[in-house]
Structure formats: C-alpha cells, structure tokens
Amino acid sequence: MKPSSLFADAEEIADKAHLEAALASGKKLRVKFGIDPTAPDLHLGHTVPLRKLRAFQDAGHQAVLIIGDFTAMIGDPTGKSVTRPTLTKDEVAANLETYLAQAGRVVDISKAEIRRNSEWLGESLPRLIELMSKVTVQQVLHRGDFKKRIAEDADISMLEILYPLMQGYDSVAVKADVELGGTDQTFNMLMGRRVQRAFGMDEQDVMMLPLIEGTDGEKKMSKSLGNYIALNDAPDDMFGKIMSAPDALMPKYFALLTDVAMPEGASPRDAKALLARTLTTMYHGAGAGERAEADFIRKFSKGGLPTDMPDLYLTEAEVPIIALLMLAEVKSKAEARRLVEQGGVKIAGAAQANPDATIAITDGDVLQIGKLKAFRLKIK
C-alpha cells in the first residue's frame, strides 16, 4: 500500500511531513486508537478510525487498540456542556463484554496489540502526580469545551481536567508513533504529543478523521444522542436504519464506511439500498444484506403497514408517549424524544409532536415508529 493512500479521508495530520518520512523509511509504526466502553455498543461512527487502523495494519504496521476501561469511569469531556456522571467498575465491565468481538469485525484482533489503560492508570497515584506536574492548568483549560463552560459559569470537574492528560499518557505507555481519532478528539490527541515530549519521548503523529452524522442527519453519530447504527443491531434493523437515513448522508457514508463507490446516476433509493446491503453484509456475513433487503421490500415497499406486526401489551389505556416508545424497544429516552420531535411517531395514523404528552390508547391502535417499525397496541 502506498503511504499516500493511508492519508485518504484524513481531515488533518500533525505532523504530515514527519509521518510521510516515517512511512517512506519502512519503519514498522505503532498506531494507536482508543475507545472508552461507555455503552455496550460500538456503532458505525467508530468504524471510521477502526477502518483506518485496519489500513495501517494491512500496510504492515502494528495496530494498538486501547480499551479505556479506566478513563471510561472518568468520562471524556469532549462536546459536553455539563459534567456527566461517572461510571462504576461494574458498568464498565458490563460494557466491555462484547467490545473486542465488535472491533474484530473491522480490525484483525489476532494481530493487534490489545491494551486496557487500567494497566498503567489504575493503581499508580505517584504516576498520576508525576503526570500532573508535566502540564499546566492553563494548557488544559485552553480547550474549547472548557472555555465555553467557563464563559457560561458552568461546572468543570477535576476529573474532566485530568481526562486529556490520561489519554495523553496512554500514548506514553504504549510508545505510540501515530494516534488515530475523530476531529472531536483533536485536543486530546495533541495533548498526547505534549505528554510524550514531557516524558522525553518522540512525539506521535496524529491523524484526525471526519465524524459522520447520525440517522437524524444533523448531529454526530452518538450513543448518548440515540442517533446511531450499532454494529450489533440485528440485520433487519441495520438495513432499515440506513434506508431511513437522510439522502444527503449517502456520499459520506459510502466514502467513510465502505470500500464501495457510490454509483453515479443512481436514484437515492437505489444508492441507499446498495449501501444498506453492503454494510449489513460487512457486519453480519454473506447473504445478510440480501435477506434484510428482501424483508424490507416485503414489509415496506408499498409504504403500507406490515401484515405481521407484533402486539405490544399495555396495562393502562393512557400512557406517556416516551414510556410507550421505551416499551417498543426504543433504546433511550433521548432517542424517543428526538423521534417524536421530528415527526417520526404515529398512533392510529396521527403524527405525534409533543414528547411530553400522555396518549389515550384504544385497543387495536397501531403505533408506527419511523418508516420501519409498527406495533399493534393491546390493552390487557
């Protein structure tokens, strides 16, 4: 693989000239990517840096996948307007259970170096004290998230201040030559260069990769926003979510999530179907995309309701709409609110607009969620 092909899709590289020289030298680089297990699922947004990690791996470099089991308990402040609750060890452990299996659908886990940052951050207060001595408060507070919160007189916890230092120390611990991550991680990754320098190491090069928007077409794909497509979604759900995503996202999804070119001149629906088949097959095996497409066509091609919709049993004739959607297996209250606010929920054919409403249900009413799910409501 030519070194220049590894730069494809990168938004920015620090420092590109140094990385080009390192790749041209034939040196086997240690390429780091870290994920905090803050929820059980990896999603398609995570696959952008994972696919880049695999590209470096295929080019003969050492992939270093860091599972941030220690930093997950602190919480990355990136993009957060308020201090978020910390996770317990048990919560992190539960989220970890399937992470490697999911990442292994993209990266060759058998050849990757898998590390947990609790190895070096979990038991060493003297190391933490040494780390804190290497970076000033002003340097950490310079990040945009913190400056905005200071201006708004919003709280910043001491743990959040420590987070960039700890992610930076990961690069020291694994002797990273390159770090990969989304553009939202720029501050943390550049902090890794600073921390390495403070510990007398050569600075890693940093490759900042694009973020992809979620199924709402507006905000980045995120577990906390509920607008994500999980790698562990059932094939029919993965296919359906892609088909319901805005047409405008298709060029970016093709470019960043697959090795398939978006067909020129194809209708938006045909292009989207190709993408949905491709991704469903990538993450669920040969034939999964075609089977999911056939099921999708059978249920929804005429725009009607599926004939085999499941029953959803209620104990009360009046129910808050958010509670109803949670019973219908919407993954979070945030996603449920978003679906209602965007007009994606109908009850007995009537679109719902108020996420705070309590709905009177008649036995046999149909609940529609987006274009893909429908339930017949039954009152016990």
Point out the least confidently predicted range of 79-83, 142-146, 265-269: 79-83
Distant-in-sequence, close-in-space partners of 138: CB < 8 Å, separation ≥ 6: none
Instruction: For residue 273, give the nearest of 292, 286, 255, 299 by alpha carbon.
Output: 292
pLDDT tens for residues 107-127?
Answer: 999 999 999 999 988 876 566
List the Cα angle 89/183/205 in 5-degree steps. 90
pLDDT tens for residues 189-222?
Answer: 998 999 999 999 999 999 999 999 998 888 899 8
| Residues written for the chain | 380
Dump the DSSP string for 75-109: ---TT-SSPPPPPPHHHHHHHHTTHHHHHTTTS-G
pLDDT of residue 269: 87
CA 240 to chain centre: 18
Helix, strand, or coil (residue 378): strand
Q: Is the pLDDT of residue 4 over 80?
A: no
What average pLDDT does the chain have?
87
Separation CA 23–CA 28 (nearest Å): 8
Record: fold of 3-209 = Rossmann fold (3.40.50)
pLDDT of residue 3: 58
Phi/psi at 230 (nearest 5 deg)? -80, 145
Distant-in-sequence, close-in-space partners of 265: CB < 8 Å, separation ≥ 6: none
pLDDT tens for residues 240-299?
Answer: 899 888 899 999 999 999 999 999 988 888 999 999 999 999 999 999 999 999 988 877
Winning range, highest mean pLDDT, from 318-322, 334-338, 376-380: 318-322
Which one-letter amino acid corresponds to residue 359? I
pLDDT of residue 80: 53
In CATH, what number does 311-379 get?
Answer: 3.10.290.10
Residue keyed to tokens 């770090």: 179
Q: Are 114 and 33 in contact (CB under 8 A)?
A: no
Would you list the domain boundaries of the chain?
3-209, 235-300, 311-379
